[in-house]
Each structure stands twice: as C-alpha cells, then as structure tokens.
Amino acid sequence: MNSRRVLLELFDSALRAVDGRARVEEWLRPAPKKRSVVFAIGKAACAMALGARDALGDHIQQFFVVTKEGHVDPQLEGAGVTILESAHPVPDARSLEAGAELARRVLGLEENIWPIFLISGGSSSLVEWLEESETLESLRALNERGLAAGWDIGKLNLERRQISQLKGGGVTRLLGRRDSLALFISDVPGDDFGVIGSGLLGRSDGEDRVTRHIVANVDVAVSEVVNAGRARGLELERRTTRFDGDVNAVAEQFLDALRATHADGLVWGGECTVTLPEVHGRGGRNTHLALTMARSLRSGERLQILAAGTDGTDGATQDAGAIVDARTVERATLAGCDIERAWSHFDSGVALEAAEDLVHTGPTGTNVGDILIGLKQSAYSLRGDPLPRML
C-alpha cells in the first residue's frame, strides 16, 4: 500500500464532505423559492454561490461575491454576478473597497428581496468598513501584529471589532428587521456565529431576523476521514476535541497520541498558532507543523503524517501543507537544505519542497480549518519504495 497516496485520498474525502457547493445546494434545495440576492464572502465564496445557484436558479436576482485573489471560479461568472478579488491574510485597499460596496448593497436592498449570506473563513480580511477614525495603515498593522504574535481567532476578532463597522454583527445591524438567511462554513471553535468571519452576521445587540445555519465544519471532515479509512480496511482513531494553541505543543501531542494508539492511524482537526519573527521565509502553520513533527520522528519510525489546510492554502503560500515521514529530514538535507535553519527561520515550505513532501490542491471550495492524519505504516512504503532487506 502506498501510504502517501492513501493519505491524499483520505484528505480528498474530507474536502468532498465539506464542499461548499454541495453543502449549500443540499441545504437550499427545499428552501422557499422567492426573489433573492446572494452575498457570498470568504475563501469558499464561489463554491457556496454556485451551490445557491444550483438550488434556486433564476430566483436569484444578483450575486455579490468577494473572495481571495486566485479563488475565482469561472463557472460563476455571467450576467448579474459581481465578483471582487480581495486580500488575505493581510487586508489592503481592495478590502476597504469590497467592504464599502457590501455595505452599500445591503443598505440598498429592495423591500421584496430575500437576502442570502454565504460566509466562510477569510472574510475578516476580505471585506472591511472602518470606523471614521481608523485608516488602512492601522488595519494592516493590527492584522500583521496579530499574525506575528500568534493570536488565536478569538483575540484577533476582538481587536478587529474595535475598529470596524462590519465586524461583531455589523452586517446584521445594517439589515435591521429584514428577514434574511445566513449559511456558514465554519473554521472556528464552537461554530460561533459571532466569530466566523469576525462575526459579520453575528447576532446584533437588539433583535434581528437572520436565520443562521452551519452547513459544514471540521467535525464533518474528520468523521469522513474515519469513514473513508474504514472503507480501505483501516481503523483510524478520531480525536474528539479540536487542536489549537502553539504549533510545538500540537506537534508533540499529535505524535504522542499517534505513537500510543492501537489503531492504524489518527485523525485530528483544528488550527494551531505560530509566532512569526520579523523576518521569516516561505511557510504557514501547516508546513511548519509538519516540519516540526518530521524533526521529531525517529530513524526508521513507521509513521507518515499529513498536515494540510482544507482551503488549499497555508498562510500566504500556495501550498496546502505537507506529508512527512522519518526520511523527510534526510531527503531535504541530501537536496542541499539546512533543515535547522529552515525550521528556525520559518522557511518550512522551502525545506519541504526540497524533500518533495509538499501537498498542492489549489482552491478547494471550502475552509473548515486544518486536518492532521497520521498512519502507522513502514516509512519505506510512503513512495512505493521496496522494504529494506532484513539482515
């Protein structure tokens, strides 16, 4: 069995289980058919908007879509569709333009229109409408400070709300008492509407008439990995709590649990945090997590581990993550990479590229956080290599 291929298949099964297009279509298919305007914001915005179109067809009068640069799906383009590409993970002028346009369109909705909001991770950076006293420079400084310090999503969102007219239920307040629907792909602990997208459609201080539903989250993705493993004759243990916190602690916890399990492997969902130095290289939390575990694997240890983001990107890179084993460090070193320097300078993407261990998916149409999958299998089978002769 080629374990690398199996890990990629298991990860793909997770992505399909939380696909934005399929999940939104499934939820909206039995919904009332009335004149609607769709607002889709986030990394999965295009996929979710396509799902709405599949379900509601010509009942949708307009689409307003804001997504990460490079995440536009050409299937969605056409009459009545406005798609804006914006900045992530650090906002720029496009974020302010998109936020102002979002606010203008919400305030200008006709009375007989049913607004449908489709929100996924990344929305916080993609749209913004600042308080009058704030500037783009202060917004960027806040986001860069939070990313560098490794703030968790709760801390980052709390700070964002202080300078924003959209975050913390800002769009809900713009809607007033209008009947609306908001569907979410959640990438946050507890699937808190007040946290997803920094709470764009969180509950307002007063009463509102927004109906809210989670259509996909990391629990669904993890469950599907377990099911897909069982279909391949593998028993995978599922960690029931989300992983979070410092990347080094998560790496240690996952390796300890993987070594200890009596199952064929382990699957865990969540998001860790990384504290970046002022000067750093190519990488994100998943590649750094993967490289951290690779450095801790013992020679010949029969473990293979995938660490990847379900949105198909890792930080500011185009890498989804990586698959590592006990020979990762050796492969990278033989390719001329200084592993310790790469790790300490947060240049994990370069090291894992040298080891040929990176995973690329492109935009996935979803974003429920990160997935860790570990298999207990001979490291020699990772790339289909023959087992060494026993002496």
Residue 147 · residue 69 · CB < 8 Å = no
With bands split at pLDDT 50, 70 and 90, how would you rate the model's confidence at 387? very low
Q: What pLDDT, on the 0 to 100 scale, is given for residue 250? A: 98
Q: pLDDT digit string (tens) for 67-119?
A: 999 999 999 999 999 999 999 888 999 999 999 999 999 999 999 999 999 99
pLDDT above 90 as % of the chain: 80
Neighbours of 178 (CB within 10 A): 16
With bands split at pLDDT 50, 70 and 90, how would you rate the model's confidence at 1? low
Q: What is the mean pLDDT of residues 282-290?
A: 95
Listed in sequence order, the residues at least 6 apart from 41 whose beta carbon sits closer than 8 Å to its beta carbon are 65, 66, 67, 102, 117, 118, 119, 120, 123, 126, 127, 197, 200
Q: Degrees (nearest 5) of the Cα angle 176, 182, 185?
A: 145
Q: pLDDT digit string (tens) for 231-272?
A: 999 999 999 999 999 999 999 999 999 999 999 999 999 999
The enclosing H or E element of 36 equals strand 36-41
pLDDT higher than threshold 90 for residue 286? yes
Q: Where are the domains of the chain?
A: 3-14+219-379, 19-216
Q: Does domain 19-216 have CATH number 3.40.50.10180?
A: yes
With bands split at pLDDT 50, 70 and 90, how would you rate the model's confidence at 386? very low
pLDDT higher than threshold 50 for residue 34? yes
pLDDT above 70 as % of the chain: 96
Q: pLDDT digit string (tens) for 37-50?
A: 999 999 999 999 99
Neighbours of 75 (CB within 10 A): 12
Alpha helices, DSSP H only, in the chain? 3-17, 20-28, 45-56, 93-107, 123-126, 136-149, 153-161, 170-175, 218-231, 247-260, 285-296, 328-334, 339-344, 348-354
Listed range (102-111, 189-198, 253-262, 347-356) with the worst mean pLDDT? 189-198
Q: Which residue has the tokens 């946050």?
A: 188
Q: What is the pTM of this model?
A: 0.91
Start-to-end C-alpha separation, the chain: 23
Crossing angle between the packed helical segments 247-260 and 285-296, to the nearest 10 degrees: 50
Q: Which fold has domain 3-14+219-379?
A: glycerate kinase, domain 1 (3.40.1480)
Taking CA atoms, 170 is separated from 21, 75, 96, 136, 164, in Å, by 26, 30, 14, 18, 8
Q: What pLDDT, on the 0 to 100 scale, is given for residue 134? A: 92
Listed in sequence order, the residues at least 6 apart from 279 whose beta carbon sits closer than 8 Å to its beta carbon are 345
Listed range (51-60, 127-136, 320-329, 371-380) with the worst mean pLDDT? 371-380
Q: What pairing do the DSSP bridges indicate for beta strands 370-376 and 265-270?
A: antiparallel
Q: What pLDDT, on the 0 to 100 scale, is given for residue 98? A: 98
